[in-house]
Chain A
Amino acid sequence: MTRLSVTMSLRAAGLVTLLFLPVQACTDLTENPPSQITSSNFFRNEAEVLAGLAGVYAQLRSTAPEGSIYDANEISSDEMVVPTRGSDWFDNGQWIDLHNQTWTATSAATLNFFNGAWNSAYTGVARANLFLSAVQNASVPNKASIIAEARALRAFYYYILMDMFGGVPIVTTTDIALRPRNTRREVFDFIESELIAARDSGLPATRPASDNGRLTKGAADAILANMYINAGVFTKDGAKGGINATGYNSCQGITVAGGTDACQAAIAAADRILNSGNYSLADSFPKVFRYDNFSSPENIFVVKFIAADGLGLDINMAALHYCQYAPLSPWNGFAIMAAAYNTFDPADKRRRTILIGAQNDVLTGQPVTHRVSGSCPAYTPANALIFTDTIADIHSATEGEGPRIYKWPADPNHVQQNSGNDFAWFRLGEIYLIKAEAEFETGNAAQALTLINTLRNRTDAVAPPLAAVSRQVILNERLFELVGEEKRRQDLIRFGGFTSRTDAASGLAGGKVARGNDYVLMPIPQTQIDANPKLTQNPGY
């Protein structure tokens, strides 16, 4: 028995060894994702670098129609409203909250639109930061130009944040950390210096057609020109920080890079574009917005869209009626305010970008109907779809109430709701108006009038020439030229009308009443303060 036990023990020991042998072999827990890449093994050649750069560009789509940044810019202004239509478009009250400017740090509009805007713009910043840190070690041709491109894009994302929220944390590294806000002036200076650096050390003046849409010197100058004309607002932290919520905020007297006065800097930046020879006004206004507007000579900085799944513009879905874009069924939401529509001179051809009255299918031109049993029946005059100018009650609008923006006509080659119209953040038309405004502010009214009349008098003139210019004329001209292009909120704040405009002129019940001066800045969404307690709230919220 003893011998047996010894043998058994030896065998047991051997078996135990065998049993636990795999322990040695199978403890490697390193992860190697088979279908994903990590930044450490990427950005090694030009194709990979360009793929990374495309990712930084792709975030631009979130700034264009119809994303939360667009909604925040348009619906909060006096250009557009999204009324509740029956049970449709109530959406937690967010649209009414946004339009009526009743937002707080935690209200529905803030949770969706402002929080979305904050995240969208900062995601662009983070992508640029990751790209810039990775590309340093890559050896690729045109590296300086590519780096300049990414820096200019990052500056633009900061421009969105600064415009909407004021001072925000400036971050150029890839780590996630809690950081306090910089002042709006610091953000302004940062964006300015980045754009100047990008313009002067890498960005080309023009791009070949195959690179249409990538940033140029002109893009940097256009953002700069816009910043300079807004310098009276953009360098001040809210109404308590010096923004005049009820009067004009001039660029005069604000010193920017190189010790220049902001109005002069705006003129200089506009002139660099106007005198570059690379841009000209399109012969007709509609060509600036059509599906083939990638070739518009007016484009300076656009968000590129093509008719492909997930890559197209879909603003028409948000605005058009269910029955006028067959076979698609649009969402019948966004409406132009009657007052904005009625401000236009009826002779102004630019008013035709707004649909009103009896409606047709936007592609076939056939007259269309309102819905019956959810369908779009055969047309008779009795069931004609008619867009009204006013909306009786924005809490319970009917299907046909409110005019609609139709500035970017449907792409005949659209893929589902994806149209190929590019969205111009900056085009030559606005540069004329920026220069005109800056000239007017520096006492050169005649030059301002010439510029505006030049804009009106393109080959296919949009409107008769004006005889005189004033701030009000400039503001109105910006509305006529730029309606729906995400400029109105910024313009109203600069001209001192953002918080005081009411819906009375549009005949809306339950609409906007005058709000406090502090509303010239959006609240920092509470969700962002929760995530980064070092963020302080804007005054008044």
Chain B
Amino acid sequence: MMQRNRHVGLILAFLSFLAIPLAAQNGTIHGQVVDSITQQGLAGATVQLLFRTAGLTVQPGRQIVTDADGRFSLGDVVPGAVTVKATRIGYGPQQQEVNVTAGGTAEARFVLSPQASILEPVVVTGYGSQRREAITGSVATVEANTANVGVKTNADQLLQGRAAGVEVLQNNGEPGAGAQVLIRGGSSLSATNDPLYVIDGVPVNNVATEPQSIGVGGDPSLPRNPLNLINPGDIQSITVLKDASATAIYGSRASNGVILIETKRGNASSGPTFEYDGYVSTSSPLRRLDVLTGNEYRNFVQNSVASWRTDSTSFSSRHPGTDTIFTKHFADSAAAFNALAPSHLADLGSANTDWAAAITRSAVSHNHNLSFSGGTEATRYRASLNYANQQGVTLSSGLERIQGRLSATHSDLNNRLRMDVNVTTSRVNNTYLTYENNGGFEGGVFENVATFNPTLPVTVTDSTGTHFYEVGGTSIRNPVALASQITNIGQTTRTLANGSASFDLISGLTAKVTVGLDHSGGQRQEYYPQSNPVGVALGGGFARQADLENTTQTLQTQLNYQRQFGNNTVDVVGGYEYSKFRTSSLTAQGIGFFTDAFSFNNLGAATTRTTFSDAAESRLVSVFSRANVGFNDRFYVTGVLRYDGSSRFAVGHKWAAFPGVSGSWHLSQESFAKNLPFSDLKLRVGWGLQGNPSVDPYTSLITLAGSTDATYPWGDTPQGGVLATSNGNPNLKWEQTSQIDGAVDFAILNNRISGTVEYYHKNTKDLLLTVNVSEPALVSTQLTNIGSLSGHGLELSLDALAISRPNLTWRGGLVLAAERNKVVDLGGQAYISTGFVSGQGQSNQVSERLIPGYPVGTFYGPVFLGWDAQGHQIFQCSAATPGCVGGKTTTGSGPDQADYRVIGNANPDFTLGVHSEVTWNRFDLSFLVRAAVGQDVFNNTALVYSTKSDALQGKNFLRAALTDSTGIHEPAIFSSRWVENASFVRLQNITVGYDLNLPLLTRSARSARLYVSADNLILITGYSGLDPEVFTSNGLATRGLDYLTYPRPRTITGGLRLLF
């Protein structure tokens, strides 16, 4: 008997000499799973055998998936009373006891009722999975096949509007743009607010994979999303761990929540499957910068010159000496203040150029996924290939992805040994538009769209041929030429590989080893040609090649013990994890080329060449454990403890413990609850402590580095120097967030309506803040653990199965979140200024303050009251400040710092996502609406570009300025005038699909679906800028800044999905 079961050819040496007890006799269970409404067989339902041993324990046994008619057959069943359970996504589970006789056949029929929410019965949690009913923490799941369709380049977009308390703010409308993902409002100021991403059980280091560009006219645009490497078509499900008790298992990296991404695996039950999924889409900008047309600009200048009075200009010779001294300026009469000098007539050309239209386009994108999967009960595989090509809605921007993925699972030793290998390799080719994230005096493409004179042409033809029109040698540049002539591309190759082996040591006890490798190599290649003024300004052609390499190696070992004792369950996980992160970069650049022909490919030809390199490494070591105990199917308690060590913190502060505890009470199981209207009712409560380790390596040390700043010429020869780049901090430690969470999960009308109401409160202490330090100091700031932040919020999610008839189903759901955060303490500082204002004349102007007692994203500035007769802006002031009369500033005196006030809040009162899916015969219709109410956005674009004073420099401006009362000579002054309510309702996506009747078309295809989808079709908002959902990074923890954002597209997609 032992001999028969002993295996040869074992993969792991320590697994030899294992023995498995055998079933002595057998019976068979036949049956069918049907829909309670249609009474049709349900394909793809899981039928699971729960068997008892030693009379006590019920444990999951074998399982099988029903065929197309909903039928199944389970052989080799131990005789006796056995429990069989049927589950299917979107249906409530059912179990029944069946009597199996030796050699006999038992019948089992399951009638499953559709459920409001379409949820897997098993939920992926940290380091394993749990039965949904045993979950005690706050966990939201999004099944990829039900999430948004349309053009999606990464996983983040699948979450938009789908999970309560998960706000996904795409930075802008650029293809593959990065995103700000805030789970429960974030928990940090200077450290990251990004959640931890875990793909197939392996935490991913979510840092930029491509080197940054040099900025043209400001900081370079924000990096694209590192998650673009994952093809959304490969994603099976996304689970969001929101509260501390659920995330505590990830300890130090979990304070911003955890996003677990599970990818699709092969499925043996339905046989070999071949799938094609593809779409073509076309996009155009939803809105464009509304600047004056050529004619409007001509009219404006001519009218303004007409009101220039001759007495405005005076020439006189004032100096008694021999010099000819001129006094040439206008007197500040109202007419002059609102007039342009006659010389501005020379600004006017004869063209009528719509620069916004000239740099935007109707973009075409397409995406193709091919996959095949299949296998046997023991060995399953899935292979997929993705090609995606997404054009941006401006010239010279796009994203191309080629990605391949293989996953294979194999079980052996009678399913006691399970092995799993996943390999994803992707190549992303990015094409970047040269635009600025924030800006100053000179601009990139979007600033020049706003300001380039519309009476000038895009191109001119002269004796040298047709070329771009440039005004020449100054900070104003033809935006079409910028977009067309500058090469700015990036390529990232990223491989994500992980393998694991699990072995059931004894009944219920499983050991697992996982190794993971995440390697990305990103390149950035730029060339600023001499033919463009930017290239000239950079020194006669500027070429740059930059490489960035990130490697993360992970090793996990874990033990898992799962047992069921009657109605009691025990589920314990313990393990160890080791991660090593390494990043290195190499940049080479050359300035001064005698030809543009080399582009960035021959740096040796440059007159001046420079190289830089850098490397950093860090390690994270953890031991962790989680125990989940269920009593009587009613009470579940989970305790988590993780002990983390990070090399990044100071000696003596490298280790910290992160505990979590939570419990749930399944009230609907109680007899006293039987009379309540709830078909399901569960109370949950939890507490946990988490960390945020995102400080750069070596921050605790005083480090010295050589740089230009340290270099000093002695005898006119530069002496390379070193200087301290940091004060170090021997006390640097983790940011810690504690969170409590209480929730009610409920369902009524036989689970036709289900939902969750959840409240949380969290406190972050020991905030990692870069604060001014007492001088003298090597640098004026130090990263210190001071201050605290708190947040609390209410989340509601509802799912309803409104209609469920044989040919018509209608599901709908909504998620609603209201989040309030507050800076509690800044280590004694009264406030920290942030939100630097972009644009000419805005140096050192800040728009936000972090103030104890106020939320992150509090706008702070002067209160705008109106205009005086001359067109000066008037601000609220106090009597104490100079130039203040009757609470209003007088002509010419701007707002005083002392009169700055809180003038807005970038946080919404609440956010809402509403989704609906209707299936009618072969048609389906779904939509997703997202809304946010009550938030303010600082329209930095309007501040700087809807000001007529731009005409003084021959620049265009936004049309809104034409009708306001601001004088032409009045500078752009930041005030409450530019902080706008940015509430919005957006029809994020609407999709209509049709299931083709395939037998008519083809014999081999199993199913086919055609769909048409529209993204961002309707946006309702009072906000005057391009888009109320914006992100501009310009200071510490900024929110709600809008500066010249890449326009968000409206996209129409047509797609086809074929299954063979």
Contact = CB atoms under 8 A, between A and B. Distances in A.
A28 B327 CA distance: 73
Interface in B964-978: 969-974
A444 B319 CA distance: 35
Nearest to B555: A22
Contact of A91 (B719, B843, B950, B969): B843
A275 interface: no
Contacts of A87: 839-841, 944, 947, 949-950, 952, 971-972
A57 B775 contact: no
Contacts of B617: 34
A476 B337 CA distance: 37
Contacts of B833: 111
Given A376-B472, A392-B331, A86 B777 contact: no
A532 B774 contact: yes
A228 B708 CA distance: 35
A210 B718 CA distance: 11
B716 interface: yes
Interface stretch (B220-228, B506-514, B931-939): B506-514
Contact of A130 (B472, B503, B724): B724
Interface of B is mostly: loop
Interface stretch (B11-19, B129-137, B368-376, B801-809): B11-19
Interface in A470-513: 509-510
B25 interface: no
A8 interface: yes
A60 B344 CA distance: 43
Contacts of B842: 90-92
A503 to B, nearest CB: 13
Nearest to B576: A23
A467 interface: no
B557 A22 contact: yes
18 contacts: A8-B506, A11-B17, A18-B14, A19-B557, A27-B645, A35-B705, A52-B721, A58-B721, A87-B952, A88-B953, A122-B780, A176-B727, A209-B715, A322-B475, A331-B441, A374-B471, A392-B330, A393-B332
Contacts of B511: 12, 15-16, 19
A357 B722 contact: no
A89 B845 CA distance: 11
Contacts of A102: 882
Contacts of B830: 530
Interface in A316-364: 322, 326-329, 331, 342, 346, 356-358
Contact of A310 (B506, B709, B720, B896): B709
Interface in A496-541: 509-510, 527-528, 530-534
A149 to B, nearest CB: 11
B410 interface: no
Interface stretch (B887-895, B999-1007, B1039-1047): B887-895
Interface in A382-421: 382-383, 386-393, 395-401, 415-416, 420
A465 interface: no
A371 B712 contact: no
A21 to B, nearest CB: 9
A257 interface: no
Contacts of B675: none
B714 A12 contact: no
A212 B715 contact: yes
B866 interface: no
A90 B474 contact: no
Contacts of A326: 473
Interface string B287-320: 0000000000000000000000000000000110
Contact of A311 (B344, B697, B718, B950): B718
Contacts, number: 394
A374 B322 contact: no
Contacts of A12: 505-506, 509, 511
Interface stretch (A300-308, A428-436, A456-464): A300-308
Contacts of A127: 723-724, 778
B291 to A, nearest CB: 15
B326 A389 contact: yes
B517 to A, nearest CB: 16
A284 B985 CA distance: 72
Nearest to A370: B343
A15 B474 CA distance: 71
Contacts of A397: 329
A326 B971 CA distance: 27
Contacts of B724: 39, 55, 126-127, 130
A531 B782 CA distance: 11
Contacts of A130: 702, 724, 778
Contacts of A377: 346
Contact of B613 (A19, A35, A533): A35
B953 A371 contact: yes
A61 B970 CA distance: 35
A379 B331 CA distance: 26
B709 A304 contact: no
Contacts of A126: 724, 775-778
A130 B725 CA distance: 12
B702 A39 contact: yes
B718 A306 contact: yes
Interface in B777-823: 777-780, 782
B462 interface: no
Interface residues of B, number: 139
Contacts of A420: 716
Given A16-B511, A126-B776, A372-B343, A58 B711 contact: yes
Interface in A156-179: 169, 171, 176-179
5 smallest beta-carbon distances between A and B, as pairs: A54-B721, A346-B321, A375-B471, A122-B775, A532-B774
A92 B838 CA distance: 12
A7 B17 contact: yes
A94 interface: yes
Nearest to B953: A374
Interface string B931-965: 00000000000001001011011110000000000
Given A23-B623, A90-B894, A530-B829, A373 B453 contact: yes
B754 to A, nearest CB: 40
B578 A26 contact: yes
A383 B344 CA distance: 10
Nearest to B829: A530
Given A304-B712, A374-B474, A416-B539, A38 B703 contact: yes
A123 B697 contact: no
Contacts of B841: 84, 86-91
Contacts of B621: 23, 26-27, 29
B616 A33 contact: yes
B654 interface: yes
A520 B969 CA distance: 34
B704 interface: yes
B542 to A, nearest CB: 11
B536 A327 contact: yes
Nearest to A344: B321
B773 A386 contact: no
B472 A176 contact: no
Given A36-B698, A58-B710, A373-B456, A210 B715 contact: yes
Contacts of B406: none
A328 B840 CA distance: 17
Nearest to A351: B323
Interface in B676-721: 697-698, 700-706, 708-721
Given A54-B712, A92-B844, A93-B897, 17 more contacts: A26-B621, A28-B619, A54-B711, A54-B721, A84-B971, A92-B845, A123-B776, A130-B702, A311-B708, A329-B475, A358-B326, A373-B349, A375-B471, A375-B474, A387-B326, A389-B318, A391-B329
A390 B14 contact: no
A400 B328 contact: yes
Contacts of B954: 371-375
Contacts of A119: 775, 780
Nearest to B971: A90
